[in-house]
Every structure is written in structure tokens, then in C-alpha cells.
Amino acid sequence: MPTSLRAPRSGTSVTRAEVLVVGAGNAGISLAAKLLRDGAPDVAIIEPSPVHRYRPLLNYVGAGQATPAEVERPMSSVIPAGCRWVQDAVETVDAEARTVRTRRGASISYTTLVLCPGMREDWAATPGLQDAYSAGWAGSTYVPSSAPLVWPALTRIRKGPVVFTVPPEPAPCGPTALKPALMACDHWRRSGVLSDLDVTVVLPETQPLAVAGADEHLEAVFASYGVTVVRQSRLEGVDPVLRSVDLATPTGTRRLEQVAYAHAVPHYSAPDWITRSGLGGASPAGLVDIDPATLRSRRHDDVWAIGDAAAIDTRSSGGALRKQVKVLAHNIAAASSGRRMHSYDGYTVMPVTTSRHQLMLVQADRKGPRPLALPDPFAPRRSAWWFDRHVLPQIYFRRLLRGKV
């Protein structure tokens, strides 16, 4: 029976796989589908979650422009046909023995292992933040359970300090944390209350994107909304009772008090088992140590990684994954046949909404900007917003997750 007609199989009875993929987010699903389309005879995925999310839409949920139902699909509906699904979590990897042990005690051997488990919220890195989420005066579009609560909270605010943080790297497409900030400012300006608010945006670096041309546009947008920008800073701690936020800045701790609302994105780190398994590198966040060009482990030739948890030397994004999947699918086949490998150039995309229906589409690679062939390539456009909000989700579910990259 053709692969495309076979239903995905789920279970923990898998004991061996030719290609074993860890993680069923954008990276894992689109790679598995691509490999099967290219003729790989045996692909299995390890993923505990029964739900798959198109995470970029969470920013629009947090701006009142999308619903959680548009973000989610049953995992069984996106696992590629012909791919075996192990609904379990990884406990450890023995790269020397080429085996993965799961939390339920299964041992799965592999010929090729691809790690794309994504990252996890590191709540311990910001004391008090999780309690502030529970108290309701802090939240973010990055946390799926919090995203639907963000817009109702923001639209209730009429005066006082409001804080938006951009997470330090590594983070899942960190610059898009500016989306809810600038869409909220546009809403407050149209509602006539922006002048009564003290809006602070916290950037981990000096510039918002570190992309020449794009940063100038964003700085003008900040100024137009009267936003205070705190640079080279990060969230250090939160007092959930006193509603204060502590920022680590180059000159010491800066405290913001009596905060009306904090869109405070947690810090992120890779799953602990990557470090426990000896697959991490020098990154304090425990990212998988790979050659950022070939996407292959520096220590184990049969281990590869893409996505948020991989040390790819660029900002993660869905656009970055599209390029990574193409390179990795080729390189896995090339490694077994002795052919020349392809190189991932660090291409990434940073879509940032600057108002309710305007968006900057910023593309870059390790060499610098890759602007569109337009007179002002980084200018916010309604067409770019429409593409990001309405077209890309369709492309994602109908093409990317089916390996048609």
C-alpha cells in the first residue's frame, strides 16, 4: 500500500527504528513527512503530547485576532501517514549504544537519531513569575494556557505601568514577543487611553532585532507609541504580591512597581535529558551541540538536531525550520551514501506586527539582512500581516506538515 494511504500507528511497542525523531512540533512532523516522501522506509516519532500547536498563532490569540481552536490539532491528525508514533517522553539517550530510553521504560534502538524536542519554560530562572501568572496580573502568549487570558487582561487596563519583555536567547522566535506589545499599544491609542499608560519594553540586546534597516523602523514605532525601551536587560525576578518586576540591567537591578500587567515571557532551556545524555554543548541552556552548517552532532555521526533546542547559531523561527528540514533531509541521505552534504546558512524570519493590521517581515541569515525586493523592504505592510495571520497557517497545516517544503 502506498505510504500516503497508510494510517499513522501509535503505541509504545516500537523497539527499533531506522530514523527516530524526538519531538512532534513543526520540526519533527515536517521532517518526518519529508523523509517519508523522499523514500525513507522506516520513520518513528517520540512525542508525549496528544495536541499539536501552530505556535505563531498564539500571538494573535493574545491580540484578540485568533482563537485557541485555530492553534490546535489532535496530534494523531498531523503525524505523517506511515510514521510510527511512540506516545511517550524521552528519559535519556545512550548515543554509544544507539538507544533511547523513555519515561515508561521502553528502550528503542535506532540507526539515525534526530533531536527536535523544542524548549521548555525555565520558571526557576525567574523567581515569582509563575505565581504572578497564577495571580492573573502576568502572562504571555508564549505559554499556551496563558495566551487566551492575555487580551482580556490588556483591554481592561486604563492606566498605570505595563511591561512587555522580549526573552533572551535562546528562545522560540524571541522577537515575536513584540507582537502583543505593539498590537496592544495600537489598541490603547485607538481607545484613547495610551497617554495614561506607562508602557515599558524590555530588550535583551541593544537593538530589537539586530538587523540594519528593520531596527530603524521599530525604533520609530516605539517612539510613536511613547514606549520606554530598556535595553540589554532581562527579567530577573517578580514579586507576585507587591506586583513588582525586577530587571537585570547593565547598571544593576531596576525595579518597576505597581505594575498593572506584565507580558513577561519566561526564560527557556532545552530539556534536561539532553545534558544528562552528554549531547549538549557549552550553552548554559543545554542546547544540542551540532555543526550549525550540517546540523550533525559534533560527537556522534548518527545524531542530528534542528529547531529551538539545537545550537544552530541563529534565531529560531518557522521560516528557519523550513530551510533546516530541507538541508537535514538531504544530509541524512547523503551521509549514508557518501554524497556531498548541503549547508544551512542560518536563514531565519522575524515577523513583527507594528499595529493591529500592519507587519514587518524581516529575513536574515548569518551574513546579515535578506530583504525583499521592494523599495522599502522592512516597512510595515497590511499585506504582510494578512499573509502572516491568514495564509501561513493554511500553508503550515496543508503543506509544511506534509513534507511539501
Total domains, the chain: 2
Domain extent for 53: 3-119+270-347
User: Does the residue 371 lie in any domain?
Assistant: no
Q: What is the 3-state secondary structure (H, E, C) of the chain?
A: CCHHHCCCEECCCCCEEEEEEECCCHHHHHHHHHHHHCCCCCEEEECCCCEEECCCHHHHHCCCCCCHHHHEEEHHHHCCCCCEEECCCEEEEECCCCEEEECCCCEEEEEEEEECCCCEECHHHCCCHHHHHHHCCEECCCCCCCHHHHHHHHHHCCCEEEEEECCCCCCCCHHHHHHHHHHHHHHHHHHCCHHHEEEEEECCCCCCCCCCCHHHHHHHHHHHHCCEEECCCEEEEEECCCCEEEEEECCEEEEECCCCEEECCCCEECCHHHHHCCCECCCCCCCECECCCCCEECCCCCEEECCCCECCCCCCCHHHHHHHHHHHHHHHHHHHHCCCCCCCCCCEEEEEEEECCEEEEEEEECCEECCCCCCCCCCCEHHHHHHHHHHHHHHHHHCHHHCCC
Q: Tell me which of 232, 267, 302 is where a domain ends.
A: 267
User: Does the residue 403 lie in any domain?
Assistant: no
Q: What is the pTM of this model?
A: 0.94
Average pLDDT, the chain: 94
Q: Tell me which of 220, 235, 267 is where a domain ends.
A: 267
The residue-averaged pLDDT of 211-219 equals 95
Least confident stretch, 107-116, 159-168, 368-377: 368-377
User: Does the residue 392 lie in any domain?
Assistant: no
In CATH, what number is assigned to the domain containing residue 261? 3.50.50.60
User: Does the residue 380 lie in any domain?
Assistant: no
Query: What pLDDT sits at residue 375?
Result: 81
Q: Tell me which of 324, 347, 370 is where a domain ends.
A: 347
The residue-averaged pLDDT of 68-87 equals 97
Query: What pLDDT sits at residue 2?
Result: 34
| Residues 141 and 162 grouped into a single domain | yes
| pLDDT tens sequence across 28-52 | 999 999 999 999 999 999 999 999 9
The residue-averaged pLDDT of 158-187 equals 97
Q: Which residues have a Cβ under 8 Å from the Cβ of 143 and sit 6 or more positions away?
A: 121, 133, 266
| Residues 307 and 216 grouped into a single domain | no
| Residues 26 and 114 grouped into a single domain | yes
Q: What is the percentage of the chain residues whose pLDDT exceeds 90?
A: 91
User: Does the residue 391 lie in any domain?
Assistant: no
Query: What pLDDT sits at residue 33?
Result: 98
Given pLDDT bands bounded at 50, 70 and 90, which one contains residue 374? confident
Asked if residue 319 has pLDDT above 50, the reply is yes
Query: What pLDDT sits at residue 123?
Result: 97
| Residues 92 and 26 grouped into a single domain | yes
